[in-house]
Amino acid sequence: MSYLVLARKWRPRRFEEMVGQEHVLRALINALDSGRVHHAFLFTGTRGVGKTTIARILAKSLNCDVGVSSRPCGTCSACTEIDEGRFVDLIEVDAASRTKVDDTRELLDNVQYAPTRGRYKVYLIDEVHMLSNHSFNALLKTLEEPPPHVKFLLATTDPQKLPVTVLSRCLQFNLKRLPVGLIADRLTHIVEQEGIAHDATALRLLARAADGSMRDGLSLLDQMLAFGGGEARETDARSMLGTVDRDFVTGIVDALADHDGARLIGCVGRMDEMGADYEAALAELASLLQRIALQQAVPDLPADELWDAERVGEFAARAGAEDLQLWYQMAILGRRDLHLAPDPKGGFEMVLLRMLAFTPVSGTAGEPGRPAAAARPAPAPAPAATRTESPRPSPVDTSPPARASAAAGPGVDFSDWPSVVPRLGLQGAARQLASHLTFSSMEGDRLRLLIDPRGEALWTRQQEERLSQALAGLAQRPLRLTIDKAEAGQDLEDTLVKREQRELQARLGQAREALESDPTVRALRERFGAVLHPESIKPGDEHSS
């Protein structure tokens, strides 16, 4: 006895057995039950979502011996013959193999004749967009005003190629790609009915690989059963699909959260021994990062069969939200550019090292997986002879007595805020925030800073926490940080940004004066009329010899 593939064996025979496409089924069921059935239907959508299946059920509903309804009996001769593909009044045409106008005319020559067996003569034209322009022209008049006993059911994966004259004569239904969960549920139902041993994770992998197509999902399940000896197991599914073992992917995220480069590269080495597909590995990594980010945003999210809920919850507690977003973006872009790398393994390693390099290590103490600022020694102040800052006189003490207690640790004077910022070891947005602040006052362990209006966009709770932790590490004691907005119209000059701008302007002025007095420049001006463009002047490295 020949084997019947699952896609054919489990093809729906009634509307109630269809999975998904409720928006199409509702319209067809109401039309059949009310007797308002149009003469031409166009079903569009990607492959394997049910276009031809719905068309056949509709043909069965129109020709069932019991009568026209949305619930054909399935047992009469018409229903049985349609299910078996031998109903004489259901004319199925593959437009891809009959594109010529002569084929279309031959097909339409019999439209005028009454159906042989059924109530309606149904023309089911699959991949109708493959017809030639002349074929469409031959079809138009019949499609617009067919005899009352004729129904046209057209199906296509590319409706953009159909002439608008054809589209205007049909009721168009766009079938959607099926969600992964819906396909997985259908596969689970089938394997349970077939008595097949399976893992939920394996079926989820097959459903995801089906890419929205139920037929592709059933074909992959057939392939899985052949590959796994009649069972659907996760290990076999990953081997067949070329996906990476999730232990490798969770190990990578674990190493990223701990900022452990050695463990990260070691994990890649073990993957290479298994002959991993690195593009698939980046896809799996992005999938896990997405799941962790969702867990952070919605802690009560239902568990996913692909990833262990306990590990996902652990990663959600350890990794920072902005780090997850950064890693996810790098994984997506790295997958896109992987073919440009000299070799896939090297490209994969560089993506992971990029994630490592751009992950701030000056996180707060509440962010597991990152060294807290207090745990790292603060960088030593640069010697006076090599400092890039220009000398500045000590500020005159005009503040309340609290300013006198601004020194809060060995060698730390918070009143000279621009000199404090480089010692905090901050990076990224946290450093930018610190660069737009200036000292206001200090009372006990309460440090007050003012923020320049141009830096308020950087002021977030997370960046303020990072700054607070870095300050506590530098002062070697807990500090309570308060950031206040400057008063309207108040211009804060004693910020690191303003100091660097003043130094840059001073160096530009010196460079301009040096060029103006340079004998070569003067000679070029006098002899050739050379013009010195001020915007082209760049200050040189003042420490270069």
| Residue 94 amino acid letter | D
Phi-psi category of residue 212: left, alpha or beta, with phi > 0 → left and psi -120 to 50 → alpha: left
Kind of pairing, strands 437-443 and 412-413? Answer: unpaired
The structure's pTM equals 0.57
Is residue 122 pLDDT above 90, yes or no?
A: yes
Give the Cα separation of 19 and 31 in Å (integer): 20
Residues of the chain with CATH 3.30.300.150: 403-494
Is residue 25 pLDDT above 90, yes or no?
A: yes
pLDDT tens across 344-388, in order?
Answer: 999 999 999 999 888 765 443 334 344 433 333 434 444 433 333
- 360: tokens are 């701030």
Rounded to 5°, angle at Cα 24 from 22 and 29: 90
- Please give the distance of CA 219 from its chain centroid, rounded to a whole number: 27
- Helical residues (DSSP H) of 242-308, grouped into ranges: 246-258, 261-273, 278-297
Which residue would you say has higher pLDDT here, 395 or 450? 450
Give the Cα separation of 128 and 158 in Å (integer): 9
If one looks up domain 246-357 in CATH, what number appears?
Answer: 1.20.272.10
Residues written for the chain: 545
Average pLDDT, the chain: 82
Give the Cα separation of 243 and 373 in Å (integer): 38
Residues of the chain with CATH 1.10.8.60: 180-241
Is residue 416 pLDDT above 80, yes or no?
A: yes
Mean local confidence (pLDDT), 498-508 = 83
DSSP string of 187-202? HHHHHHHHT--B-HHH
CB-CB contact of 351 with 334 (8 Å): yes
pLDDT tens across 239-270, in order?
Answer: 888 777 788 898 999 999 888 888 999 999 88
Mean local confidence (pLDDT), 333-346 = 92
Q: Which of 122, 84, 130 is nearest to 103 (CA)?
A: 130
CB atoms within 10 A of CB 268: 21
pLDDT at 379: 42
Is residue 543 pLDDT above 70, yes or no?
A: no
Q: 250: helix, coil or strand?
A: helix
pLDDT at 488: 67
CB-CB contact of 451 with 469 (8 Å): no
Compute and round to an integer the Cα radius of gyration of the chain: 36
| Residue 149 amino acid letter | H
pLDDT tens across 426-446, in order?
Answer: 888 888 888 889 888 888 888
3-state secondary structure 57-92: HHHHHHHCCCCCCCCCCCCCHHHHHHHHCCCCCEEE
- 6-174 folds as Rossmann fold (3.40.50)
Q: Going along 144-247, which residue ranges are E strands?
A: 150-156, 171-174
Give the Cα separation of 64 and 81 in Å (integer): 10
CATH assignment of 403-494, among 3.30.300.150, 3.90.1150.10, 3.40.50.10420, 2.60.40.420? 3.30.300.150
pLDDT tens across 285-322, in order?
Answer: 999 999 999 988 888 878 776 788 888 888 888 888 88
Domain 180-241, CATH 3.40.50.720 — does that match?
Answer: no
Residues of the chain with CATH 3.40.50.300: 6-174
Is residue 11 pLDDT above 60, yes or no?
A: yes
CB-CB contact of 125 with 157 (8 Å): no
pLDDT at 360: 67
Residues of the chain with CATH 1.20.272.10: 246-357
- 166: tokens are 């054809």
